[in-house]
Structure formats: C-alpha cells, structure tokens
Amino acid sequence: MFGIKRSLEDALFSDYIRGRDGWKCQVCGRQFDKDNGQSRKLLDCAHCFERRFQGSIQTRWEPDNAASMCKKCHFIGPDSMDHNVHEKREWFKKRLGVRKYNLLEYKAMNPGKFQKPDKVSIKLWLKVMIKGQEEADRGHIFGAH
C-alpha cells in the first residue's frame, strides 16, 4: 500500500482498531468474522490523516485517527473514502466531534510540537489493549483477577 513499510506496531494497531470497532466496517456496517483469517485482508484500519501524511508519526497509532473500513468503503471505486479525502475528513469529524477532530488535525499538521512516540511503549500498550479486548470477548472483566 503506497510503498509504506508496515511495522509490528502497525499490525498490532490494526488488530486493536478492528477489535475496538467490533470487526465491523464503520461506514457501511458490514460485519466480519475475526476468526476468519481472510477478514484481516478485507477489513482495513483506515486513517483520517494517512500514514503517508507529513505529520503521521504523531497520529499513526492514535486511536481517534483510525476506523475499521471494508476495502470497498476504504479504497475501491470513485465513492471510496480514500478517493474523497474531504468527505473522509468530514466523516471522521462527525464521528469524533469537532473538538477531538480539531486536536487530531492539529497534531497531524504540527509534527514538531510533539515528542515522537516511543515504539516500545506503543507496542506494550497495544498488546495490553488487545488482551483486554480478547478477555472481554470471552466474558472476563478487563483488569479483574
């Protein structure tokens, strides 16, 4: 995809976003089976401010900057979100609310004003969040012993 190298953090983040969104396209509502390996290929982790964007290091693993979208809604066809960047940003603004969206946009547009993310911390945080999702799926309360 666009020649961008996908790291372990990217893969974990994608799994986290899909889980957070219930393995469902947030645009059209199509449901995917998390236990079907094919679902990972059909349900994308779409970014409002794309990974190729200049300030992406600040927003790359920001949960507010991502939503699960099926390939059709994300990439395929003239009506897909990535072919209509303005529409995609408006969709995220509606999803997040103006205040959260404006903060996200500020972070994306001003990369020098924030400390670069620590990949080790991001990886650990994502693993904890994914474990919490898995425990919740099994009916366990996250954080309870």
Per-residue pLDDT, averaged over 5-33, amounts to 93
Per-residue pLDDT, averaged over 6-20, amounts to 92
CB atoms within 10 A of CB 125: 17
Contact 24, 6 (CB under 8 A): no
pLDDT over threshold 70, residue 53: no
What is the reported pLDDT for 114? 57
Rg for the chain, CA atoms, rounded: 15
For residue 53, the 8-state DSSP code is: S
What CA–CA distance (Å, rounded) separates 51 from 58? 10
pLDDT over threshold 70, residue 45: yes
Q: What tokens appear for 125 in the block? A: 């945080």
Higher-confidence residue: 2 or 45?
45
What is the reported pLDDT for 31? 96
* pTM for the model: 0.81
What CA–CA distance (Å, rounded) separates 88 from 135? 32
